[in-house]
Structure 1
Amino acid sequence: MNTDQIIQLAYLGLLGAAIVGSYIFANKSNLGKVAQQAAIWGMIFVGVIAAAGLWGDISRDIAPRQSIAGSEIVLPRANDGHYYVTLDVNGTDVDFVVDTGASQVVLTQDDARRIGFAPDDLRYLGIARTANGQVRTAAVKLDQVTLGPYTDTGLRATVNEGQMDMSLLGMTYLGLYDSISITDGKFILSR
């Protein structure tokens, strides 16, 4: 926190204290009612903060998920327009954003760590050109990747040395399917 932020916080604290103090002074004959109203507003404030903090979990739980229909894997389009999928990689669930523009499967450093790679020990010899510029990448091999009834072994992937919000499911994986289509807001993979 820098000096300007500290000054702003102090100013807002003093302003809030002045408003609360003047309200209590103006209603000193009804302190019981003031305390009751303050408790109600405090609970409303805590509820709003809790809902905002948990919104990602709540929306993920009520949003449609990937499903299996016969030999097809169906991924619904998310509210942000992307398609997301969870794969079992080396025994660990990893969330991916489907990226047909990515030539490879690209792992974040956190996901790489979770599935058993030590990102600090990898050799970043490759270069990827992204919308954010060039980043170094390290080649890895995924022992086992499972999506629904389909398990693939020895899949090549890369670990991105730069910052990424989520791992990318690119064409080295998507190309294993016989058919890829987008219909009625659904991304459909079939073998």
Structure 2
Amino acid sequence: MNLGELGGFLFDQPLLTLTIAAILLAVTAGMVSAARPRVGQVMRNAAYLGLVAALLLTVAQLAGHNGRSEAALWLDRTRPAEIVGKETVIAMRADGHFWVEARLNGEPVDFLIDTGATYTGVSNRVARRVGLRPNEKDEGVLMDTANGTIVAQMASANSLRFGGIEANTLPVAIGPDGEVDTNVIGMNLLSQLASWRVEGSRLILVPKGR
């Protein structure tokens, strides 16, 4: 392998390159420490930081390949939807579900797209943050959740937007804190679309009139 091939190989392997550079720096630091202690200490500290950075990046890379690990779920944060032509595309997250970063009454809220939910729903904590208030004389509705049956209060959201999708005056169920851990977009919004479908690891939503 000539120098050109070696350089290309190292360029394609940034973690390996970082590790080798840190090790070489540590060796050099040991060689110069006797004559110039301060310079040697600075070089040694830089080498340690390089090795720690390489280790952390390696762990992150392994977690990313293991899609079901807790680290992968933490690293795979909820993202905004992507607009492709007339369609809104949501990528599947590492947990196998479709999550989207939306704007509820103008405030950012992470939602799970749940085709099994009748209503779009949020926790009471999120409702307070975005200015959702239960409808007057609302007696609540019974809803089945992962934590059992709860009594949710109904409110009306001025707007819910993500990608090319926007719903106005949308009924939203507000669940009690501690019993509702996940905000969901349910069928009362999805039924307003022209169509929606799943293609592989993508959820594709098509609004009406486009």
- TM band (smaller chain): 0.5 to 0.7
With the length of structure 2 as denominator, give the TM-score of the two structures: 0.58
2:155 counterpart SS class: strand
Q: In structure 2, what is the Cα distance between the partners aligned to 1:140 and 1:163?
A: 18
Residue pairs, 1:64-103, within 5 angstroms: 66-103=81-118
What residue in structure 2 maps to residue 112 of structure 1? 127
1:173 aligns with 2:177: no
Q: Which moved more, 1:123-132 or 1:175-184?
A: 123-132
Q: In structure 1, what is the Cα distance between the partners aligned to 2:73 and 2:205?
A: 26
* C-alpha contact (below 8 Å) 2:79/2:101 kept by paired residues: no
Q: Go from structure 1 to structure 2 and tell me whether the alpha carbon gap of 1:154 and 1:128 turns closer, same or farther (over 3 Å shift).
A: same
* C-alpha contact (below 8 Å) 2:104/2:130 kept by paired residues: yes
With the length of structure 1 as denominator, give the TM-score of the two structures: 0.64
Q: CA deviation at 1:126?
A: 1.6
Aligned length: 144
Could you list the runs of 5+ residues in structure 2 that have no partner in the other structure? Answer: 1-47, 61-70
Deviations 1:58-96 (A, max 9, x none): 432xx8752110111111111110000122111101110
Q: Go from structure 1 to structure 2 and tell me whether the alpha carbon gap of 1:90 and 1:156 turns closer, same or farther (over 3 Å shift).
A: same
Q: CA deviation at 1:123?
A: 5.5
Q: Go from structure 1 to structure 2 and tell me whether the alpha carbon gap of 1:149 and 1:59 turns closer, same or farther (over 3 Å shift).
A: closer
Q: Percent identical across equivalent pairs? A: 27
1:128 counterpart SS class: strand
| Higher RCO (Cα < 8 Å, 6 or more apart) | 1
RMSD: 3.3
Q: CA deviation at 1:186?
A: 0.6
* C-alpha contact (below 8 Å) 2:132/2:156 kept by paired residues: no
Q: In structure 1, what is the Cα distance between the partners aligned to 2:149 and 2:103?
A: 29
1:183 to 185, 193, 199: 199
1:172 counterpart SS class: helix
